[in-house]
Structures are given as C-alpha cells and as structure tokens.
Amino acid sequence: MTLNLTLIAAAQRWTLLRRSMDFRVGGQEVLEGRFHESGTVTLFEARYHAIEPARRLVYTYDLHHSGRFHSVTLSSLQLESEAGGTGVSYTEQIVFLNGKDGTSDRHHGTEIQFDMIEANLRSCGAKQ
C-alpha cells in the first residue's frame, strides 16, 4: 500500500478524542480530535437527512473549535456513473459564526479528506 506522505503527515498532526457514527436517516455522527501543534480541539456533529445508496448523501453539521461554535454546514454528495468509474460532486453551504470567512481553510481541509479517500480506494485496487 502506497499513501501520499503529505496525507500521512497530516493525519499524524491530529489525535482522535471521540468518535461515534449512526449512519442512517436521522442518525448522528460525532468526531472530536486535537491538533498537536496548536492544541485546537475540533468537534464535528452531524445529522444525516438523506441517504440514497450509490447515488446521494445529504447531511448537516456543526463545527466547534476549542469549545467555540464555528460554523453550520449543509452538505450534499452526489455520485454518478461515468465511463470507467464514478463521478463525484460535493457541495457545501456554510455559515461561519465567528465573523471570519473560513472558506479557504474549509476547502483545504475538504481536499485533504478527499485525497485520503482516493488514496485508500487506490490501495484497494480502484482505478482512476
């Protein structure tokens, strides 16, 4: 298995504190962790609104940074069959509650997560 060293380094900068997932319509997910360098604790609390296997996922989530309510997000993930694979479309509508525009940070974090998913799929033999 070959993983991008940048992704491994990113994962090593964070420690999992709490994790639960009830993946069903109405179910909730909680993910809490601490970044080593800054000490920032992130808390992700989600609720699933629509789950259509192999097609669509719609969920909302609250994000807290070190106990401060940071943002509320509506997310949708669409999957579509394409020649030789699957097309993915991901959309977020975000309200930042701290008065700052965190769009670039969110974009960066989401890119890291999708890169990690891609690396994992490739390690299992998935093709591009």
By CB neighbour count within 10 A (0-12 exposed, 13-18 middle, 19+ buried), where does 3 fall?
Answer: middle
Is the pLDDT assigned to residue 116 strictly greater than 90?
no
pTM here? 0.80
Residue with tokens 């525009």: 101
> pLDDT of 39-86, one tens digit each?
999 999 999 999 999 999 999 999 999 999 999 999 999 999 888 888
The reported pLDDT for the residue numbered 2 is 46
The reported pLDDT for the residue numbered 114 is 75
What are the DSSP calls for 100-114, one per residue? S--HHHHHHHHHHHH
Is the pLDDT assigned to residue 1 strictly greater than 50?
no
Share of the chain above pLDDT 70, in %: 90
Is the pLDDT assigned to residue 6 strictly greater than 60?
no
Distance CA(23)–CA(63), nearest Å, equals 18
